[in-house]
Structure 1
Amino acid sequence: MVYQALYRVWRPQSFADVIGQEHVTKTLQNALLQQKTTHAYLFSGPRGTGKTSAAKILAKAVNCERMPIAEPCNECSACLGITDGSIPDVIEIDAASNNGVEEIRDIRDKVKYAPNAVPYKVYIIDEVHMLSIGAFNALLKTLEEPPKHVIFILATTEPHKIPLTIISRCQRFDFKRITAQDIVGRMAHIATESGLQYEDKALHIIARAAGGGMRDALSLLDQAVSFSTDRVKVEDALTVTGSVSHHYLNKIGRAVYEKNIPEALASLEELMLEGKDPARFAEDLILYFRDALLYKTAPNLEESLERAMLDEDFTKLANGIQPEQIYDYIDILNHTQQEMKFSNHARIYLEVSLVKLCQAETKKAIEVVGIQELHAKIESLEKELTLLRTNHKPMEEESKAQSPNKKAARQSKEFRVNTRMIREILTGATREDLNSVKSHWGELLEALNSRQMRSQSALLNDAEPAAASPNGFILKFKYEIHCKMAMENQTFLEITSNILEEITGKRLQFVGVPEDQWTEIREEFLQNHSQDGKKNDEEHEDPLISEAMKLVGADLIEIKN
């Protein structure tokens, strides 16, 4: 007898055999018991999760001679005929090869004929997303209102490619990926019933490599059985799946943690010589570090570990590594895995990623170093502050002793105004002389700019003549620093006097004074000048006028020269 693959021999024949899809099988069983089955179903989900098997089981259940029941009996002629394909009323169509309008029109024409052997005619259209737009349009009306004796079951792995008008006319059931635990349980049952010898860890490796598909898992188990001699061992499962042994994962994980680049690259070289797939290794390493993070943060979830095994090496590494490091490792590996998909040099990307993993510095480590440096600086500042407090009183006394000298030194640096010259100019000052200087002030500034003396001209931007006499004038500055710079620059004074002489025809001397000091000097001069004027008037007063004022008062006397 020709050998049949395990997934064909052990195809589910009842809803109880459909592993990991309880949310689907329970709903269908209730509908069968209550006789509330509908005219169209859509089964969607990843490959190998039981969509087509569930469709056949549903076809048998609705046509079983013992209806209404939750499971097909698999004993009556209808169930047996549908199982071996001898009943023509259950039609399986592969939409990948029958995706044209003509095939759908043929279905539409034949759908009106009553079934021959069973109560319902069931159309199972696999990979229905492969139908063309015209085929979908041809199916639309029939799918919406088929005859009472027809049931459509559509199966697909890509439901997003199906028009919404089709989806809205079906009851949709989404099949999910089967968990590794469920796959292991089903494989253990099949192996036991088939008389196969196996190691538990080998089944776990196959289940993880299956990616949530039961058909893939049974195909890998078939290969492992063929590869092994009398017992499916861990090494056989690793060879068949292309996965990396736990020993190598521990070895590379330890090398990455200890930043031992030669050890990590040497281990990778050994794996490549054994023919391991770089993409599979990257995935195994991601799962390994994921398990390390899970074990470190939630040790009680041992059953959730995907790739690691709780031996001494793994637990020691997981306890020593920091979560922040694991985050960085997974990010680097995930980025590498994405780049490997579009490159012909996957091994190079893998080698570079291992070097990156060994050289990765986590943000946490950098922050710790920064915090340590900050603590050292704080301690140093605290010591200096203590020293300052200890020497505070001697320093305070010394500062008090030195304060008069500092004040004197500060005062000595202040600009000293030539008050004598200011008084001389104010004594002979007239309005005409001041207006004359102001009228020529713009010419002076232009002359300074034309002679490339812009710095000297800038000193006079905020200055203006305040008073003038025939021989000189007073220049008031807004800022003391500008006044000091101008009056202490002999070259500036000489050039300015020469330019004024060229403009006015007179040799005028000028003296600078800050604006705040000018106000005080001017008020002081006016006050002294008025007092001197009163004294002079009193000295020249006529004695007769004084006597008359004493006799009759100042209001009744009029003095005429």
Structure 2
Amino acid sequence: MSEVLYRKHRPSLFEEVYGQEHVIKILSQSLSNNRVAHAYVFAGPRGSGKTTIARILAKELGVQGVDIIEIDAASHRGIDDIRELRDSVQFQPTQGDTKIYILDEVHMLTNEAFNALLKTLEEPPAHAYFVLCTTEPQKIPLTIMSRCVQLPFKQATEAELISFISHFALVEGVQLSEGAIQLLAENADGAFRDAMVLLEKVMGLESESVLEPIDIINGLGLVSGLHVDQMMSKIEQKDLNGLLSLIESLADQGVDIVEITNKLLVKLSRGIVGSMSDSGLDNKTKNKHNITMLKALILAREDMSILKDSQVALIAHISDAFVLQEVSLVGDDFENTDESKEIIDSTIISREVTKSQDSEEKSLLIVKEDVTQLSEWERILFAVKQKNSSVEALLKESKIQSVDKDRIVIEFPFAFHKNKIESAGNMDILQNAVYEVFMRRLSIVCTLKDENSSKKSVEHNDIAPPPDELSSDDLLAQAQEVFGGQMIE
């Protein structure tokens, strides 16, 4: 069985390492001056070469064989494991004059384990060296960090990854176009190891000619910069339908939804940071929209870690963000109209609810929906959210149309939301929530708003008079219903 590429081409000398020149320079000078520290913290993103450089350091120190002790702190994180390490440190090396301990993912150690390690780091034997590797240095206690020399590892740049992939593609005899190399670099997430893994996957694609980006996208389902640009364009145009269609299309093509969400997060955040210096009104509005979308993507990304269907999480939170913005924009438009100014000038609306009986009587609103029904819907949403927040987001803009002995009819504003809820897993969650609220099994009927608009105009014609027949008192009552609060005479 052939050896995987990232092991086959793992550097054994500092000169063979791509990137991390600053780290290599410091370690090389320390070795030349015979002033190597007894403990280092190598902190940086995954796949950046932390354990590789730790092994090269061991080689340069003359450590051999069993005296290079690598410990996965994620699976050996308890105090007993560190006590065992502490005891073994006292023994002399079996070969040569030195031994080195490389602790990977050291931030996973328990507090008790860190405390047990502290004394050894404070007074290490002359023959012992330690390299603590971590992707999350903020989780390491300051008492430990202060006893070590900290060397930060940086994420690989796109130029470094392109050079890296080009070199090893040539070594392995893989024919890649410049566009294909660029695509692999974009999908390596700043990690040399990930780039090597992608190159190995590409080697599995059968091709007698030079591989182009489209071959790799179709073969591996990778995310291209074009995909991200297309999604950014839909977001900036505030085209929800176009964005949802694009997500479905990319999912059908086999594009990794989690990966494209990650890349969209990066691009959107960089765009927000880059445009903050412009204080124009249009730019503020654009930033407000982009920040809302950024928050939605963060929530979607969190839900993707617990959901099997990443597409549902992404679409639910994006749709929710667009709907919330539409409500906000409607509110902004109303506040800027002459009609709104007249209403606000003639009535003082307070949002603070008083406890006196008189205030309660004056703040009674004409509510069109059944209060009990509204309360039941809120309880259903709450029960759904406990199981799955993405499903709750799909339901948030829907409402109960009717409830009878055997069934409940739920009205949806969008066909996509309705279709997603009607899928087996999501419908089960909704069914259980309905049972929790009504304490009986009801068949659930999902309808679209447009399908019922004509029925509602006929069946509920007696609920409220046409707008031109409303009295001034009715208008004030409706204003209170929209904005909340009470009227002070």
TM-score by length of structure 1 reads 0.50
Corresponding position of 2:295:
335
* Secondary structure at 2:53 match in 1: helix
2:123 maps to which of 140, 145, 164 = 145
Quote the residue 1:55 is aligned against. 54
* Aligned residue in 1 for 2:319: 352
Q: Compare relative contact order (CA 8 Å, sep 6+) and give the higher one, 1 or 2.
A: 2
CA distance in 1, matches of 2:127, 2:201: 43
Matched, 1:136 2:135: no
Aligned-CA RMSD value: 3.7
Q: Does structure 1 conserve the Cα–Cα contact (< 8 Å) formed by 2:161 and 2:192? A: yes
Deviations 1:51-74 (A, max 9, x none): 1111111011111xxxxxxxxxxx
Alpha-carbon offset, residue 205 of structure 1: 2.2
Distance 2:202 2:327 in 1: 38
Q: Which moved more, 1:232-241 or 1:170-179?
A: 232-241
Q: Kindly indicate whether residue 87 of structure 2 is the aligned counterpart of residue 109 of structure 1.
A: yes
Kept after mapping to 2: 8 A contact 1:228/1:236: no
5+ residue gaps, structure 2, are 277-281, 338-489
Shift of 1:37: 0.8
Matched residue SS, 2:61: helix
When structure 1 is superposed on structure 2, of 246-255 and 133-142 the one drifting more is 246-255
| Matching residue of 2:478 | none
Q: How does 1:236-315 map to 2 (within 5 A)?
A: 236-239=215-218, 242-245=221-224, 263-285=242-264
Distance 1:292 1:228, change over 3 A: farther
User: CA–CA distance in 2 between the matches of 1:163 and 1:294?
Assistant: 31
Deviation at residue 246 of structure 1 after TM alignment = 5.2
Equivalent AA in structure 2 for residue 179 of structure 1: T
CA deviation map 1:310-354 (0-9, x unaligned)? xxxxxxxxxxxx866753553243122122134453243366279
Distance in 1, matches of 2:99 and 2:8, equals: 26
Amino acid at match of 1:103: D
**Separation in structure 2 between the aligned mates of residue 200 and residue 352 of structure 1, nearest angstrom:** 37
In structure 2, distance between residues paired with 1:272 and 1:122:
47
Report what 2:213 is aligned to: 234
Give structure 1 stretches of 5+ with no counterpart: 64-77, 298-321, 371-561
Number of the residue aligned with 1:172: 150
CA shift at 1:46, angstroms?
A: 1.6
Q: Distance in 2 between matches of 1:150 and 1:286?
A: 43
How many residue pairs match? The answer is 321
Determine the C-alpha separation between the residues in 1 that align with 2:11 and 2:145: 26
Find the partner of 2:186 among 208, 216, 221. Answer: 208
- Classify 1:251/1:260 alpha carbon distance in 2 versus 1 (closer, same or farther; 3 Å): same
Distance 1:243 1:330, change over 3 A: farther
Q: Output one character per residue of 1:466-489: Cα deviation in whole Å (capped at 9) or x when no partner.
A: xxxxxxxxxxxxxxxxxxxxxxxx
| Contact 1:279 1:340 (C-alpha < 8 Å) held by counterparts | no
Q: Secondary structure at the match of 1:91?
A: strand
Pair 1:25 & 2:24 matched: yes
Where 1:205 maps in the other structure, the secondary structure is helix
C-alpha change, 1:354 and 1:128, in structure 2 (3 Å) is closer
Q: TM-score, normalised by structure 2?
A: 0.56
Q: Take 2:288 and 2:53, find their aligned partners in 1: how far apart are those partners?
A: 43
Alignment of 1:371-382 (within 5 A): none
3-state SS of paired residue (1:88): helix
Q: 2:167 aligned with 1:189, yes or no?
A: yes
